[in-house]
Structure 1
Amino acid sequence: MAPIVSVRPCTVEEASEYFFKWPRDEQWNPGNQGHDLNQVYYNLDPQSFFVGTIAGDGGAETVVSIVAVVRYGKDSAFVGFYIVAPEHRGKGYGLTVFQHALNHVEDRPCVGLDAVMEQVHNYKKSGFTIVSWENERRTGSADVIVERLSSFETLEGKMIKNACDVPIGELYRLEEKYNGWNRPVFVSEWIKFHSNNAKYGRFSVAVMEEGKVLGYGCVRPAITSFRVGPLFAQSPDVAKAILYKLAKLATEALAQPDSDITPSVKPVFDIDIPIVNPQVVALFDELDMPNTFTTLRMWKGRKPEVDTDGIFAIATCEVG
């Protein structure tokens, strides 16, 4: 008989140990050196990062499963980082920690996750029966993006700026329009994290016209590539201008002699796109960026109302 699993919130040290290293070992390509986890994700809701543990020989505690369910406002939450240690799979340890997470947000009418396709049937059993769209992780050369989108270095009548230099309220507006949530703390911290620091390879770009933000995007190094997200834009041209600038900044950052980007990071962009938007699919097909990984955005309760026409990339698979 398998030992009984106990579930508790993790410490900040455990977050670095398990919520970074386990996704890395699963080849999920998490943020470079766990910076996004330590500086943004965990601080959003520390009491919602859970570890499942069992008592080993002599009573020593062993972590066997993890999950996070970050809460936004009073209505929403997003599940991520759901992993069971390979040597402990098939014993029910995952279901226990997952159910604990759902109980933690049982008062929320809108709970989402991005499901790997082989687990979709299991999530349906847990009540995730509503689907927004399928995400495809499109992967391609940042140098090719710079070359092919060079004509979008400027946009007539529009300003291309650092996203940290535009009115933050405009970014809150786009977040609610395209993601369906009011989560100002995440947006503020995400922009601060991507504060255009070449040493760390993190950048954010926005396009403005007459004081209004038409779109913005962020890029950060992961383990083997750069991950882009979100990329919100009112038109494909605005998205192309943002993508061009992000690719140019990222490739230049890799060439910096004082870079803090680990050598494993290559000039490659990974972008999780909702294929419900045909304009998005067409853009990345034109850039010869194939699908390398598929997830399904699923909901328990109800899904948020969003304008999918402007979603060119989701923010994250980990915290929505």
Structure 2
Amino acid sequence: MKQRLDIRPLRPVDIAHVTAWARAEGFAPGQGDVAIYRHTDRQGLWLGWLGEEPIGCIAGVRYNCAYGFIGLFLVRPAWRGQGYGLQLWRHAMHHLADVPCIGLEAATDRIADYAGWGFHAASPTSRWSLLSAGQPKPSARWRQGTGAALALVGADAVHDAAVVAYDARHAPSPRPHFLRDWLHHPAGTVRALIDGQGCCHGFGRIRPCLLPTSEGWRVGPLIADTPALAEGLLRGLLLEHPGQVLIDAPQVNAAAAQLLAGLGFDRVGQTLRMYRGPSPQLPLEEVFGLACLELG
């Protein structure tokens, strides 16, 4: 007889389990990511337990009353095909039942499953990879195409409100709680482009991540007014970060593909952004990298 799955909220002590599972699945979790997911919605991350053994997890994070996101959904290999994943899925969907729009990133082999739950395709996402030397060739192109003098600064030199306001125009929902944790986590580096009035024209973050067999870096988000500004940001983020670098970019932004290929990145994978409910209308031509596939 199949054991009953006990679904419990994620505790801080459980983060190591989830991070290890995500790494084994090739999710490449960033340092501190799972703790930030938990802090964004303390009721929105769960582990499934068989007795005292954790066997799977899911996130159903509610940004606000209008938008939620499902991610970090996995069952350990030995317990797949027994309905435990469906129980975790239903639990997350119940948590977000009153949210008008829910987003997720679907692996190719799961698209039909999610479509059966009312999710529809929005835009493909490409994963790009670069073996970086940590010293990209200098470029002044990022100053072209703008009449404003922009400063490339770190997170400690810019008001959070400017970045939060800029991000809110490019994400399905404002996410100040998540973003402040994301920008000020001690792991990694943040760069922003700020004009003389303190307004943001682009920002990005690079952080350490755990690849299946090594350590590397993930860039995200990477958002900018123009491709030239995005290039300046990305060059600044790659500086002094040698090793394998991953970035997840919306395919509909053709300029992102051109930029990444021009810097030596290779396309190594694809997922599909899907929504249940109305698709947010976003300026994806200014989004060159998502924050993370697990939270959008």
Same fold (TM over 0.5): yes
1:187 alignment counterpart:
179
**Structure 1 residue 208 and structure 2 residue 198: aligned?**
no
1:46-61 to 2 correspondences below 5 Å: 46-55=42-51, 61=52
Task: Flag structure 2 segments of 5+ consecutive residues without an equivalent.
Answer: none
Q: Distance in 2 between matches of 1:144 and 1:289?
A: 13
CA drift of 1:42 comes to 1.6
Deviations 1:54-95 (A, max 9, x none): 23xxxxx32222101111021111111100110010000001
Structure 1 spans left out of the alignment, 5+ residues: 56-60, 252-266
C-alpha distance in structure 2 between counterparts of 1:11 and 1:242, whole Å: 35
Amino acid at match of 1:48: G
Structure 1 residues 133, 93: CA separation in 2 closer, same or farther (over 3 Å shift)? same
Q: Is 1:242 the counterpart of 2:233 in the alignment?
A: yes
- Equivalent-residue separation in structure 2 for 1:180 and 1:309 (angstroms): 14
Following the alignment from structure 1 to structure 2, what is the Cα–Cα distance between the partners of residues 114 and 45?
19
Q: Match of 1:289?
A: 265
State the shift of 1:179 in Å. Answer: 1.2
Give 1 or 2: higher helix fraction: 1
For 2:125, the equivalent position in structure 1 comes to 135
2:33 alignment counterpart: 36
Q: Which moved more, 1:5-14 or 1:109-118?
A: 5-14
2:5 alignment partner AA = V
String of CA shifts for 1:190-211, please: whole Å, max 9, x gaps: 1111x5xxxx4x1000112232
Which residue pairs with 1:263 in the alignment? none
- Aligned equivalents of 2:227, 2:249: Cα separation in 1: 13
Q: Which runs of 4+ in 1 moved over 6 A?
A: none
Which amino acid is 1:221 matched to? P
Partner of 1:225: 216
Instruction: Look up the match of 1:257.
Output: none
The letter of the residue matching 2:71 is G
Q: How does 1:259-270 map to 2 (within 5 A)?
A: 267-270=243-246
Helix, strand or coil for the counterpart of 2:201? strand
Change (3 A) 1:16 1:285: same
Residue 252 of structure 2 corresponds to 276
Cα distance in 1 for residues equivalent to 2:287 and 2:122 = 12
What is the Cα deviation at residue 47 of structure 1?
A: 1.6
8 Å Cα contact 2:108-2:272 kept in structure 1: yes
Give the aligned partner of residue 25 of structure 1.
24
Aligned counterpart, 1:152: 140
When the two structures are superposed, what TM-score results if normalisation uses the length of structure 1? 0.85
Equivalences, count: 287
Q: In 2, Cα distance between the equivalents of 1:168 and 1:144?
A: 27
With the length of structure 2 as denominator, give the TM-score of the two structures: 0.91
1:204-229 Cα distance to aligned partner (Å, 9 max, x none): 00112232211000000102311000
SS of equivalent to 2:237:
helix
Q: For 2:156, what is the secondary structure of its paired residue?
A: helix
- Conserved in 2, the CA contact under 8 Å of 1:152 and 1:244? no
CA distance in 1, matches of 2:259, 2:241: 20
- After superposition, the CA RMSD in angstroms is 1.8
| Structure 1 counterpart of 2:133, one-letter code | D
The percent identity for this pair of structures is 28
1:316 aligns with 2:296: no
Check the 8 A contact 1:20/1:30 in 2, yes or no.
yes
Q: How big is each residue's C-alpha offset from its partner over 1:237-294, in whole Å with a ceiling of 9 and x where there is no partner?
A: 110110111111424xxxxxxxxxxxxxxx1210100010111111112123111121
Q: Give, in whole Å, the separation in 2 of the partners of 1:161 and 1:62.
A: 46
Matched residue, 1:45? 41
- How much has 1:142 moved relative to structure 2? 2.4
On the 8 A contact 2:134/2:239 being kept in 1, the answer is no
- Between the aligned partners of 2:262 and 2:255, the Cα distance in structure 1 is 11
SS at match of 1:272: strand
